Amino acid sequence: MQKSYGLDWEKELEEQSRDDWIFVGSISKPCLAEIPVKDRQHYLPTGEVQRGKEDFQDCASRGPINLLSMKFTYLVGLIDRK
């Protein structure tokens, strides 16, 4: 195994293609679990203390997980209403 010494600009430039620079997010399909703004507060997770002994310094990890939890709970609620 060859040791890495960081970024090799020459190799990077040789191996790049135009496809590497396409911004795919600008043409993404809309989210299937888009919660109406008036209902979002209802689906927020509860019970996370961010101070003192209970502060786990993981807010950057919990943020996306909370969003996924909100969307999951919202979608399950839609199924239950049918």
- Asked whether 40 and 69 are in contact (CB, 8 A), the reply is no
Q: How far is CA 33 from the centre of its chain?
A: 14
Does residue 26 lie within any of the structural domains? Answer: no
Does residue 65 lie within any of the structural domains? Answer: yes
Domain residues for the domain of 38 are 31-82
- Asked whether 12 and 51 are in contact (CB, 8 A), the reply is no
Does residue 25 lie within any of the structural domains? Answer: no
Does residue 79 lie within any of the structural domains? Answer: yes
Does residue 2 lie within any of the structural domains? Answer: no
Q: pLDDT tens-digit profile of 6-64?
A: 788 888 889 988 777 766 666 667 788 889 999 988 888 776 666 666 666 777 788 88
Q: How far apart are CA 52 and CA 40, in angstroms?
A: 28
Model pLDDT, residue 59: 75
Model pLDDT, residue 31: 83
Q: How many distinct structural domains can be found in the chain? A: 1
Does residue 11 lie within any of the structural domains? Answer: no
Write phi, then psi, for 55 (nearest 5 degrees).
Answer: -85, 105
Q: How far apart are CA 57 and CA 62, in angstroms?
A: 10
